């Protein structure tokens, strides 16, 4: 993916949440966003996904302008895959029905095709036997994986994930992170906000460290972590010791 951000600003009333942010990335397949709470990570992600208007600046994702003053934003939003911390499944629909709903109703994909596609991912992520369960009968990890499948089925080029594991019991974290890792097999590109440093190190090509509404550090992952010893800023995150097999 290519991301170009020029002089981006976002305020909430008098609070300056994103401060003249600039970024130019080319050919990155996976981007990790880390940093302290309240730094502006989710705000940036909501802007990049076309969900939150910004005050000033310019954004291009794969050379396409993210323009809130144009009705193209509706198409842009429709074609962007976003996975949030809370999985937002409809309680009155089964897992399978939740997956195919946006595909069928918003993207007008014929129902048989929706089911084929959903079944493909349900099998891939070992959830096929759970497809007819309602969310109340699924574990948190299963629900989050269903919501990831729902996003995958939309075939968006880039998937944006905002702390997809933080609402989960730690025992589910690994299965979600392994699911995200396997997005690479599907040739999907992703932008992920997470506090799981070990995961970012393993799964992301490039890292942004955002604090106080600014990108205070950025680099290719290997360089970024090589600098850990010089850079005390990461110390507070280092206790995240999750390992992924």
- Positions touching ligand ATP (CB under 6 A) are 12, 15, 17, 37-43
For ligand ATP, give the closer residue by CB, 38 or 110: 38
Q: What does 12 interact with, of ligand ATP, Mg ion, none (CB < 5 to 8 A by kind)?
A: ligand ATP
- 142 lines the binding site for Mg ion (CB under 5 A): no
Contact 195, 240 (CB under 8 A): yes
Give the rounded distance of the alpha carbon of 29 from its chain centre: 13
For ligand ATP, give the closer residue by CB, 41 or 150: 41
Q: What does 43 interact with, of ligand ATP, Mg ion, none (CB < 5 to 8 A by kind)?
A: ligand ATP
For ligand ATP, give the closer residue by CB, 39 or 50: 39
Q: What does 15 interact with, of Mg ion, ligand ATP, none (CB < 5 to 8 A by kind)?
A: ligand ATP
Q: How far is the CB of 226 from ligand ATP (least distance, A)?
A: 24
Structure tokens at 67: 């323009």
Chain positions 31 to 50 lying near Mg ion, rule: CB under 5 A, are 42
For Mg ion, give the closer residue by CB, 42 or 147: 42
Q: What does 159 interact with, of ligand ATP, Mg ion, none (CB < 5 to 8 A by kind)?
A: none
Helix residue ranges per DSSP H, the chain:
41-48, 72-78, 95-105, 111-124, 140-153, 170-181, 197-203, 221-226
Rounded Cα distance between 45 and 51, Å, is: 9
Q: What does 243 interact with, of ligand ATP, Mg ion, none (CB < 5 to 8 A by kind)?
A: none
Contact 198, 241 (CB under 8 A): yes
For Mg ion, give the closer residue by CB, 17 or 153: 17
Q: For residue 135, which of 81, 88, 175, 71 has the smallest C-alpha distance?
A: 88
Contact 127, 146 (CB under 8 A): yes
Q: For residue 160, which of 175, 141, 147 has the smallest C-alpha distance?
A: 147
Q: For binding to Mg ion (CB under 5 A), which residues are involved?
A: 42
């Amino acid at each position: 993916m290519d991301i170009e951000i020029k002089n981006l600003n976002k305020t909430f009333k008098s609070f300056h949440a994103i401060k003249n942010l600039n970024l130019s990335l080319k050919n990155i397949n996976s981007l990790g966003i880390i940093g302290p709470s309240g730094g502006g990570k989710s705000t940036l992600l909501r802007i990049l996904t076309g969900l939150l208007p910004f005050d000033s600046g310019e954004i291009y994702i794969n050379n396409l302008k993210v323009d809130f003053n144009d009705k193209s934003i509706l198409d842009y939003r429709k074609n962007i895959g976003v996975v949030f911390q809370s999985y937002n499944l409809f309680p009155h629909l089964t897992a399978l029905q939740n997956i195919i709903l946006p595909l069928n109703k918003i993207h007008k994909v014929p129902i048989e095709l929706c089911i084929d596609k959903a079944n493909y991912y349900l099998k891939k992520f070992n959830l096929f036997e759970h497809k007819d369960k309602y969310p109340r009968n699924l574990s948190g990890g299963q629900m989050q994986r269903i919501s990831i499948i729902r996003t995958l089925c939309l075939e968006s080029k880039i998937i944006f994930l905002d702390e997809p594991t933080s609402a989960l019991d730690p025992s589910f974290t690994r299965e979600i992170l392994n699911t995200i890792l396997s997005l690479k097999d599907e040739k999907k590109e992703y932008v992920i906000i997470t506090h799981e440093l070990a995961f970012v190190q393993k799964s992301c090509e490039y890292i942004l460290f955002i604090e106080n509404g600014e990108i205070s550090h950025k680099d290719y992952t290997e360089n970024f972590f090589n600098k850990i010893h010089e850079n005390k800023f990461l110390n507070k995150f280092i206790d995240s010791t999750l390992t992924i097999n």
